[in-house]
Amino acid sequence: GAVVSQHPSRVICKSGTSVKIECRSLDFQATTMFWYRQFPKQSLMLMATSNEGSKATYEQGVEKDKFLINHASLTLSTLTVTSAHPEDSSFYICSARSRGLSNQPQHFGDGTRLSIL
């Protein structure tokens, strides 16, 4: 079945560091990828929709200069948390949907646990 690979699975770094998270669709092309954030014991909240070849669409309240999204190819989207601070510590999950019909299911990556010291 369709697989979405997310890397790294865990990051621990110092405050002020920028962290890049990759989301790859391994066996299908994804014109659209999605980035979610999950705080401990809370639900997943959509942060932004990543569109191949164009700017990402951010949800209300998400700082686009803080969370940079690049969708350079049909199989790769990256999320960069710039100048990360402890409050950015969270679980980040990406998902991707195949090209074609809009009702295709989304496939989720395994998530990245980000811890900022």
Q: Residue numbers of the site for another protein (CB under 8 A)?
A: 32, 34, 36, 42-46, 49, 91, 93, 95, 102-103, 105-111, 113
Query: Smallest distance, Å, CB 67 to another protein?
Result: 17
CB of 43 to another protein, least distance (A): 5
Separation CA 77–CA 66 (nearest Å): 16
Shortest Å, Cβ 97 to another protein: 8
Nearer to another protein, 29 or 83 (CB): 29
CA distance 7 to 21: 6
Q: State whether residue 98 is helix, strand or coil.
A: coil
DSSP 58-70: EPTT--TTTEEEE
- If the CB atoms of residues 34 and 76 are measured against another protein, the closer one turns out to be 34
Distance, in Å, from the CA atom of 117 to the CA atom of 113, rounded to the nearest integer, reads 13
